[in-house]
Amino acid sequence: MKRLIACVSGQVQKVGYRKRVMQTAKAFGLKGIVENLEDGRVRIIVEGEDEKLKWFESAIDIKNTLIQVSTIEKAYFAAGGEFIRFGKVVDEDETDARLDKGVEAISSMIIAINGVTKAIEKMDSNLSRKIDNIGEKIDVMSGKIDTMSGKIDIMSGKIDTMSGKIDIMSGKIDTLSGKIGAMSGKIDSIDGKMGLMLQKQDDLIVEVKDMNASLNEKMDRVLDKTDVFELKSDMSDVKTALRAKGII
């Protein structure tokens, strides 16, 4: 059996440290006391088997939300055997059990708050990452929209060019139609002139036929030796008429 005397420094008073030490000592089956010192440290006197004391020494080096052990000054001695159990020394201004329960409740609350805080931080990180992903997707979509807009502008330009060419072609068609109309008018004029010429030709033929008939009649008179002078006069008239018509 040995005795361990340990003086623990750090954030160890009014944070539930003595209760944790007492619980640990009882779990290992050790005997002794734990008390607060005026300089802010906690002193532990504990007796038991050497191996259990080594375990206890490691177990009291606590660092959590409330308790922060910085150093442990320890020394081993021979066991005195005056302790029948492990307890803690309570000052007159301490409420002992109530204080321990309050510290335990506060500790649990702080641990819960820390858990919520970590969950919120994780949620915030995930949300921030999702927002970044959404932002990247929006940027990609914006780029695609810009590309589509550019293609639409190019297509619009090509449509405008095609429209201009169609307008030019329409103008040429109108010009060609005008020329065809003018040509049709000229053809109609030529057709009218041809009709007039044919009409004159028909009139001339009729006139020639009439003169020929008159000539035949007069030739008959010549053959009958009637009026030769009259025949010559008529022949002269025929020649004059033919010259006037442009036939001879």
Amino acid at 179: K
Per-residue burial over 50-63, b = 16 or more CB atoms within 10 Å of its CB, e = otherwise: eebbeebbeebebe
How far is 248 from 208, CA to CA, in rounded Å? 13
> Do 46 and 3 contact (CB within 8 A), yes or no?
yes
Q: Which domains does the chain have, with CATH numbers?
A: 2-92 (3.30.70.100)
Q: What is the pTM of this model?
A: 0.42
Query: Active site residue: 3, 18, 20, 41, which one?
Result: 18
Tell me, yes or no, if 216 is annotated catalytic: no
> Do 81 and 46 contact (CB within 8 A), yes or no?
no
Query: Active site residue: 3, 20, 36, 41, which one?
Result: 36
Tell me, yes or no, if 129 is annotated catalytic: no
Predicted local distance difference test score (pLDDT) of residue 117: 64
- How does pLDDT run along the chain (248 residues), one tens digit per residue? 999 999 999 999 999 999 999 999 999 999 999 999 999 999 999 999 999 999 999 999 999 989 999 999 999 999 999 999 999 998 766 655 545 555 555 666 666 666 656 766 777 677 667 767 776 776 777 677 777 767 767 776 776 777 677 778 777 777 776 776 777 677 677 777 777 777 776 776 777 677 767 766 766 665 555 555 566 677 777 778 777 777 77
Question: Would you state the structure tokens that stand for residue 240, as one six-digit string?
Answer: 């004059």
Strands 86-88 and 31-36: parallel
Question: CA angle, corner 64, sides to 59 and 69, nearest 5?
Answer: 60
